């Protein structure tokens, strides 16, 4: 108890809030389809809940000064809807493909019930037989990640997502050093929560990332060491 109290006191005046949000419910979420890097919009419910979330953050007194998000429409739209409910409606939104959802390769656009994939941490989606001229596969954007995309054309493991996102998190996002919001996707945020909370590869299925439901951390430095502690 004493140790916890000392850490809390040392963080006063030096900490900032890190808020993680999965985008609002998308049209393919509602249809139970693998989405990955495909661009799909939000449902009306997704927009409504994103707006409510912005109001909820206001009620909690959390006013992020920057929003980091992916290059995908559903995350960018969610970011803008949330921002409209914040006191500062002009805070910057920074988009980068490293925050994109996990790439599902040949599963993209297929029904999850017909093609079940309960992956482990290092497992990529199955290389099912599918026509490369399939209009859905041809419409998956590159998001200016062409070289990387060539290496993961059959999809990403959660470890692949970790490798392209976590360095960006430490090198670009955390150094902002002020209250911030990350609006991203289920598997991307799952890898971040797993990393921050030191959850094992075997136990990663316990991580629950719901649409429009915030996960909030307090971030500070103690004796020069970064501390990220979950508060909600």
* Dihedral sign for Cα atoms in the order 101, 106, 111, 112: negative
* Dihedral sign for Cα atoms in the order 163, 133, 71, 51: negative
- β-pairing, 180-184 vs 215-222, is unpaired
Adjacent-strand bridge partners of 111: 33
In order of 17, 70, 96, 101, the CA distances from 8 in angstroms are: 14, 32, 33, 34
- Is residue 101 part of the annotated active site? The answer reads yes
Element (H, E) at 220: strand 215-222
- Is residue 90 part of the annotated active site? The answer reads no
Buried b / exposed e along 4-42 (16+ C-beta atoms within 10 A): eeeeeeebeeebbbbbbbbbbbbebbeeebbbbbbebeb
Q: Using an 8 Å Cβ cutoff, are 204 and 121 in contact?
A: yes
Q: Using an 8 Å Cβ cutoff, are 110 and 34 in contact?
A: yes
Among the listed residues 77, 101, 162, 185, the single catalytic one is 101
Among the listed residues 23, 77, 103, 162, the single catalytic one is 23
Q: Using an 8 Å Cβ cutoff, are 72 and 85 in contact?
A: no
Describe the crossing of helices 186-196 and 158-168 by its angle, rounded to 10 degrees.
70
- The residues annotated as belonging to the active site are 23, 101
């Amino acid at each position: 108890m004493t140790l916890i109290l000392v850490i809390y006191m040392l963080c006063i005046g030096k900490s900032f809030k890190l808020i993680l949000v999965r985008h609002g419910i998308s049209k393919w979420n509602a249809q139970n389809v693998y989405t990955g890097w495909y661009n799909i919009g939000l449902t009306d419910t997704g927009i409504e809940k994103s707006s409510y979330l912005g109001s909820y953050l206001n009620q909690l007194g959390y006013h992020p000064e920057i929003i980091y998000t992916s290059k995908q429409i559903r995350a960018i739209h969610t970011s803008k809807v949330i921002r409209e409910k914040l006191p500062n409606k002009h805070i910057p939104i920074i988009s980068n493909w490293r925050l994109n959802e996990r790439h599902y390769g040949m599963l993209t656009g297929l029904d999850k019930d017909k093609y079940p994939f309960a992956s482990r941490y290092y497992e990529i989606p199955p290389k099912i037989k599918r026509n490369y001229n399939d209009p859905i596969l041809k419409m998956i954007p590159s998001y200016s990640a062409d070289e990387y995309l060539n290496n993961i054309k059959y999809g990403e493991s959660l470890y692949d997502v970790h490798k392209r996102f976590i360095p960006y998190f430490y090198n670009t996002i955390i150094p902002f050093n002020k209250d911030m919001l990350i609006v991203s996707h289920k598997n991307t945020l799952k890898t971040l929560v797993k990393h921050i909370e030191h959850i094992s590869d075997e136990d990663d299925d316990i991580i629950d990332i719901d649409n429009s439901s915030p996960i909030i951390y307090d971030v500070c430095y103690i004796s020069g060491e970064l501390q990220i502690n979950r508060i909600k």
